Amino acid sequence: MAEEAGIATVCVSTGRDLTEQVKPPRSLFLNYPMGNNFGGPDDLDLQTRILRRALAMIDDVTVGGTLIDWEEAWPKKFEYFRGK
């Protein structure tokens, strides 16, 4: 809807299967815990690089539904969060 209105969107996602199904126009997938879409706390360098990578997709992506995998791994193993 935003795209049709001339607004370019990027989804910065931590759920790869969900994102593949919904197929946003541009997605940057990070295999990070949900809620760490832009990395860890106080890691300004990583947060900035993720944000800049997402912004770069505005120019780079030429096909709607493109999903790019962020290449840097999360430092610890993590699991599905079953809630509080």
Establish if 84 lies at the interface with another protein (CB under 8 A): yes
Give how many residues touch another protein by CB under 8 A: 61
Length of the chain: 84
Which residues touch 31 (CB under 8 Å, ≥6 apart)?
14, 16, 69, 70, 73, 74
Q: Which of residues 26-65 bind another protein (CB under 8 A)?
A: 26, 29, 31, 33-42, 44, 47-48, 50-52, 54-56, 58-59, 61-65
- Residue 41's Cβ-side half-sphere holds a number of Cα atoms within 13 Å equal to 0
The residues that touch another protein, with contacts defined as CB under 8 A, are 1-18, 21-26, 29, 31, 33-42, 44, 47-48, 50-52, 54-56, 58-59, 61-65, 73, 77-84
